[in-house]
Chains A and B, each alone.
Chain A
Amino acid sequence: QKEVEQNSGPLSVPEGAIASLNCTYSDRGSQSFFWYRQYSGKSPELIMFIYSNGDKEDGRFTAQLNKASQYVSLLIRDSQPSDSATYLCAVNTGGFKTIFGAGTRLFVKA
């Protein structure tokens, strides 16, 4: 079992819709959870981080964490074509390193 799992996609949504990206992790001791966006040929860019169970909102983005289910999600409201990218889920277990999933490719159709 991979430490951080994501559906590779592609996930295709129409412009203006809600995009829902999901991630599961294997280490119950994980403490910090991150979502990064990576455009093709570019390096990852931090979108959000979440530490506590529940929802955290930042503009059009909402991160959701359920530690009991070992599940993290990212919702993107009012999706725009510029949101088309690969979204990386990343998990820190409290040590020095953060483990990344392979990413979900998102396409937002105009």
Chain B
Amino acid sequence: DTGVSQNPRHKITKRGQNVTFRCDPISEHNRLYWYRQTLGQGPEFLTYFQNEAQLEKSRLLSDRFSAERPKGSFSTLEIQRTEQGDSAMYLCASSLGQSGYTFGSGTRLTVV
């Protein structure tokens, strides 16, 4: 098992463009999470999937953010009409139960 894989590692985009990130969790893990982290802050919860069902979405997420996890496997996070305030590290994590997360390496988004 190669752990949680995230692609791309880095993304630079112009304001107003759409971006999509991919996360491949550990295959045995049924829970998948997206977090966002900015410099000097802890990870901030965005959304959670149990298998293919999206069970919780942060109030912080605007309608420009959407996430999917088709067939309970990989997940995608899309940001439409990006803004400079969206610049952050986007972290995906997976878990089996409540014993803590395994994080991917993250996707660093820079909106210029």
Chain A positions within 8 Å of B, measured between CB atoms, are 4, 8, 31-32, 34, 36, 42-46, 49, 88, 90, 92, 95-103
- With A95-B56, A100-B42 known to touch, is A43 a contact of B98 (CB < 8 Å)? no
Chain B positions within 8 Å of A, measured between CB atoms, are 33, 35, 40-45, 48, 50, 55-56, 58, 89, 91, 98-106
Q: How far is B50's CA from A90's CA once the two chains are assembled, in angstroms?
A: 20
Q: Is the interface of A mostly helix, strand, loop or mixed?
A: strand
Q: How many A-B residue pairs have CB under 8 A?
A: 52
Chain A residues near B105 (CB, 8 Å)?
42-43
Chain A residues near B42 (CB, 8 Å)?
4, 88, 90, 100-103
Q: How far is B56's CA from A92's CA once the two chains are assembled, in angstroms?
A: 14
